[in-house]
Structure 1
């Protein structure tokens, strides 16, 4: 699935909410500040403080991301992830952390392949899959 420029900006400009689930379906949702599109099909997420989220993704690599402002940037992205503890993706998130005011040291890089995109704009189109 291909993200538009508007969709990519929605991910990059603010917090996103990341949903995962355990192997047996127990949900978990957390706010993430370090998520950036790498291109129109992938989103890179820094694992700075993940606990349940990381454990969930190790057992069940399915993920969903929702942009913060449902009125202006109303998107939900669903996909599958790979986790990297070294290499170019890890180096990228480490650079983000070093450039942040908090001097974060990421534990891993989470690479999400976007497979489905949905509108979450309130109204009759809410939940509609974007083709």
Structure 2
């Protein structure tokens, strides 16, 4: 699934909300301030303070991310997440986070490969899968 420029801007512009579930299906949702597209099919997230979310992704890589920008069409992205504790993606989130706030020390980088996209705009189209 390919994200449009508008979708990618919605991710980078404001807080997003990341939903995970453990291997028993118990959900967890957290606000994320450090999320941005890598390309039209992947989202990079800095793991600065995650505990349950990190553990959930280790147990169950299926995630959902929702944008909140009401001026734009809010979106839900579903996909699979992978955790990187070293390497290119990890180095990128460390540099990114420390450029914003020098005291941040990310624990990991999370890369979400987007597999489905839905509109969550209120109204009759809410929940419609975007082809």
- 1:71, 1:121 within 8 Å by CA — same for their partners in 2? no
- Determine the structure 2 residue equivalent to 1:76: 76
Q: Distance in 2 between matches of 1:71 and 1:21?
A: 29
Task: Choose 89-98 or 68-77, whichever is displaced more.
Answer: 68-77
- Determine the structure 2 residue equivalent to 1:54: 54
- Determine the structure 2 residue equivalent to 1:127: 127
Which runs of 5 or more structure 1 residues have no equivalent in the other structure?
none
Q: Distance in 2 between matches of 1:15 and 1:55?
A: 21
Distance apart, 1:101 and its partner CA: 2.8
Distance apart, 1:71 and its partner CA: 5.0
SS of residue in 2 equivalent to 1:99: helix
CA RMSD of aligned residues (A): 1.0
Which runs of 5 or more structure 2 residues have no equivalent in the other structure?
none
Task: Choose 61-70 or 49-58, whichever is displaced more.
Answer: 61-70
Matches within 5 A, 1:24-35: 24-35=24-35
Q: TM-score, normalised by structure 2?
A: 0.97
| Number of aligned positions between the proteins | 131
- 1:16, 1:65 within 8 Å by CA — same for their partners in 2? yes
Matches within 5 A, 1:1-131: 1-70=1-70, 72-101=72-101, 103-131=103-131
